[in-house]
Structure 1
Amino acid sequence: MVNRNKDQRVNVLGLHFDNVTMTQMKENILRYMSETNRDNLFIVTANPEIANYATQHSDYQQLVNRADYVVPDGTGIVMGAKMLKTPLQERVPGIELMETCIQIANEKQQRVYLLGSKPEIVELAEQQLQAQYPYVNFASHHGYIDVYDQHIAEEIAAFNPDYLFVGMGYPRQEEWLQRYAKHFTHTVMMGVGGSLEVFSGTKKRAPKLFRKLNLEWVYRLLIDWKRIGRVKNVPIFLYKVMKQKIGRR
């Protein structure tokens, strides 16, 4: 377990975010990899949807806050922290943090396990990543599993991954990692939502201009109107942040 610096945490709707940059997270992971202990490194990348959900599910909120790092994956989180006058340095997108980990794995010739999505999606993601990062030893399994069946965890443990990325969506992915963490040794564990679909090439990320302007959510909405229900989470989140701000006075 990492000793998180309390002074660097920012409370947004009860989630304790680490005030870190992507560069600092890379340094933290490299430092962790240089250690010889058996402890895992559990990272949660939380966006406004997750923060909203956590306000209504205390068990999940506590699970997230027990993570070694909670990073702000979402412009809304950065906006909320600024509204509370406890600004975060920057957004740390989960998909980019995952890719940073894979880049480290490529340099160190490490093992990466991908769990989640449909069989054809995760297989394609593994193929695409293997082509891009030839020095990584990849393995994968789809996410259509019984979360109470520990055989998958045992299979992953036999692979002995340095990194385990679970793309099942919240809260399932974090709950799965918590349930089976004891099966793994010195493993970076992170829920990655729909990142496997992006790495498979079946979904596209927003162009760099949208990302630079923190408008990735707008691009997603433009290409997929079904996401309108998820976008509604942002004003609900900001309303709750305003209540948190008023409650501090």
Structure 2
Amino acid sequence: MKEKFLGIDVCTDTYDQLAAKLLEDINHNRKSFIVAINPEKIMKAQEDMELRDLLNKATYQIPDGIGVILASMMKGGKIRSRVTGIDMMMRLCKEAALHGKKVFLYGAKPGVADEAKKKLEERFPGIQIVGTMHGYEKNENVIVNAINASNPDILFVALGSPAQEYWIVKHMDSLAPKVYQGVGGSFDVVSGRLKRAPLLFQKLGMEWFYRLVKEPWRWKRQLVLPKFLIKAIRE
């Protein structure tokens, strides 16, 4: 089930429900594509029809943004908790380890995916990370051939949004994996190179505030939230 905010679909599924659906997609040989949705992306999509189409092409649009939760509550919707991109990635890694599914990490700066692989192997014993490749490789054939040679079930792409989503849509028909997720800077966080907001901020849905305190120059970007809420409620 999905709700719509200013023309953009957002799933109402929880982590458990999504994990079950994604495993089913793999087992039934169905390709699926996950994209994280937040107010900033929704507002950008109001002026960019190509981006709007891209976001709505995804199989699962996860509510990664407290603004989406607030808008759903105000409109009488069912979305009550965030499903963040990095936590969805970690949940998929957990399921991959439990069910023998293979993972490939593509993107980020040279060395980061390899470091993330080591951390994931420590956290999820038995996980099969069958390949990594940094995001600075320019030869598309080299990238596609490396992924297909590893024959993974799940591909995480860390090229930044929306570049990673455009890359997924362009290539997924010619690639082996069944599940595709754009994960932004998640490899940097998993590898330990980038620190995530403390758990309390995560639980309260206030990672945006933590980032704002750490990076005050982001304040103009945060103005998107009230604009989005006003527009979504009027809709």
Question: Is the shorter-chain TM-score for this pair beyond 0.5, marking a shared fold?
Answer: yes
The residue that corresponds to 2:89 in the other structure is: 98
The residue that corresponds to 1:4 in the other structure is: none
What are the within-5 Å matches in structure 2 for residues 144-159 of structure 1?
Answer: 144-146=136-138, 149-159=140-150
SS in 2 for 1:112: strand
Aligned pair in 2 of structure 1 residues 157, 193: CA closer, same or farther (>3 Å)? same
The residue that corresponds to 1:113 in the other structure is: 104
- 2:204 corresponds to 1:213: yes
Say whether the 8 Å CA contact 1:26–1:100 is kept in structure 2.
yes
- 2:166 corresponds to 1:175: yes
The residue that corresponds to 2:39 in the other structure is: 48
Aligned residues: 234
SS in 2 for 1:89: coil
Q: Which stretch of structure 1 is more off in the superposition, 148-157 or 175-184?
A: 148-157
SS in 1 for 2:106: strand
Say whether the 8 Å CA contact 1:40–1:184 is kept in structure 2.
no
The residue that corresponds to 1:5 in the other structure is: none
Q: Which stretch of structure 1 is more off in the superposition, 57-66 or 167-176?
A: 57-66
C-alpha deviation, 1:232, in angstroms: 3.0
Q: Which stretch of structure 1 is more off in the superposition, 186-195 or 175-184?
A: 186-195
**TM-score (structure 2 length as normaliser):** 0.91
Distance 1:216 1:185 in 2: 34
Q: Which amino acid aligns with 1:140?
A: T
Aligned pair in 2 of structure 1 residues 59, 150: CA closer, same or farther (>3 Å)? farther
- 2:12 corresponds to 1:16: no
C-alpha deviation, 1:206, in angstroms: 1.8
What are the within-5 Å matches in structure 2 for residues 119-134 of structure 1?
Answer: 119-134=110-125
Q: Which amino acid aligns with 1:18?
A: C
The residue that corresponds to 1:195 in the other structure is: 186
Say whether the 8 Å CA contact 2:25–2:178 is kept in structure 1.
no
- 2:133 corresponds to 1:141: yes
Q: Gapped runs of 5+ residues in structure 1?
A: 1-7, 245-249
Deviations, residues 150-189 of structure 1 (Å, cap 9, x unaligned): 4312221221111101111111010000000112235210
Runs of 4 or more, structure 1, over 4 Å off, are none
Q: Which amino acid aligns with 1:66?
A: K
Say whether the 8 Å CA contact 2:25–2:31 is kept in structure 1.
no
- 2:50 corresponds to 1:59: yes
Identity, in percent, stands at 35
Distance 2:41 2:51 in 1: 9
Distance 2:162 2:100 in 1: 31
The residue that corresponds to 2:18 in the other structure is: 25
Aligned pair in 2 of structure 1 residues 150, 226: CA closer, same or farther (>3 Å)? farther
Say whether the 8 Å CA contact 1:15–1:65 is kept in structure 2.
yes
Distance 1:98 1:149 in 2: 24
**TM-score (structure 1 length as normaliser):** 0.86
Distance 1:56 1:166 in 2: 25
Q: Which amino acid aligns with 1:167?
A: A
